[in-house]
Homo-oligomer: A and B are copies of this chain.
Amino acid sequence: MKKQFHNLRIGILGGGQLGRMLLQKAADFSLDIKVLDPDPTAPCRYLAHEFVHGNFNDYDTVMAFGKDCDLITIEIEHVSTAALAELEKQGVAVYPQPSVIAMVQDKGEQKKFYSENNFPTAPFFLANNRQEMEDAVISFPVIQKLRKGGYDGRGIKKINSVAEISTAFDDPSVIEELIPFEKELAVIVARNTNADCRAFPAVEMEFNDEANLVEFLFSPAQISEQTEKQAVEIAIRLANTLKITGVLAVEFFLTADGKLFVNEIAPRPHNSGHHTIEANKTSQYEQHLRAILGLTLGDTASNTPAVMVNLLGEKNHEGEVFYEGIENAIKSEGVNIHLYGKKFTRPFRKMGHVTITSATLAEARKKAVEVKNAIKVISKK
């Protein structure tokens, strides 16, 4: 007899907050999950059936971890895709597929994929080093993105002139035309093992320029019906073109004249979908589980307007965490806190998030600013 989902041995590569929220939901499906992470105090530490301390980017470690699994998924894309491909060959279901993860790992390959499949994206070229940037004919400013290894706002630089190339990364990069966007949007789409596809409504992100991390996320995005429709269509076409199993987060630039550009994608639950826990009929975490388990995808409709605020470690604070002002902040109604269980804070580290739900987006936004100002993630005094 085919194993029912609760009898599968499931492995997750990565034990961070995305894995943590996945585990919180996985309990509702009675899933048997083990987690691999190099940090012995990772957020998933106490929520998995088994926590394995090790490097998810190391071939042998991933092989050893995966060999008794029926199904493997990820919560971070910087993993050994060579090991995942081998495990797939040996009969382990790996979702998202190793080939998709490998492509996404390389921002150069991502850009080529968009071009080759006619997805709108900022004009770009690939450079292997500074010299190749200097040799190229560029109209500044440009955005330089390291092809590999960038994460959480790292590995991205704005280059304003030829002179500034000397400050650029000297590694293989995507050099991208700066899109003068009006908004940044994201659509999370899920595709299950039956190739059914379903997208969440688009959300709008506001970044912290200093950290290049999302500071506020607004759901629903304040965009025209036509833009919403287009963004969702692109996201679904991306998922289908990739033939991905699992959730896919698609980030967009929206220009003043209504044009959409795909910025980047992530083949896993994503920061831009945290609000779905409270604000949508199905959360991105449940949707990912449904997708990889071959279950019917859930209803993605919005329940309520919501604003999500990332709780980032304060500058100049490093050490055991203290959440200043949190007791006050949650006095306000509709304030849903999610702390990630990280014992230590450091500047701009993602320590938690708060989702504010309210009858109107304007009211939620007002509260979100208050929450943002009220809660400071500092080191213990």
Q: Which residues of A contact B (CB under 8 A)?
A: 1, 4, 6, 20, 24, 27-30, 46-49, 281, 290, 295-296, 298-299, 303-304, 321-323, 326-327, 330-331, 333-334, 336-342, 352, 357, 380-381
Contacts and interface: CB of A to CB of B under 8 A. Distances in A.
Top 5 closest pairs, chain A to chain B, by CB: A30-B339, A299-B333, A296-B331, A30-B341, A46-B49
A6 B330 CA distance: 15
Contacts of A322: 4
A329 B60 CA distance: 40
A47 B321 CA distance: 22
A342 B30 CA distance: 8
Contacts of A330: 290, 295-296, 298
Copies in the complex: 2
A378 to B, nearest CB: 11
Of listed A4, A28, A326, A327, residue having the most chain B CB within 10 A: A28
Contacts of A295: 327, 330
A334 B281 contact: yes
Contacts of A327: 295-296
Contacts of A334: 281, 299
Contacts of A340: 30
Contacts of A304: 303
A306 to B, nearest CB: 12
Contacts of A336: 28
Contacts of A20: 27
A343 to B, nearest CB: 9
A6 to B, nearest CB: 7
A333 B297 CA distance: 9
A338 B28 contact: yes
Contacts of A48: 46
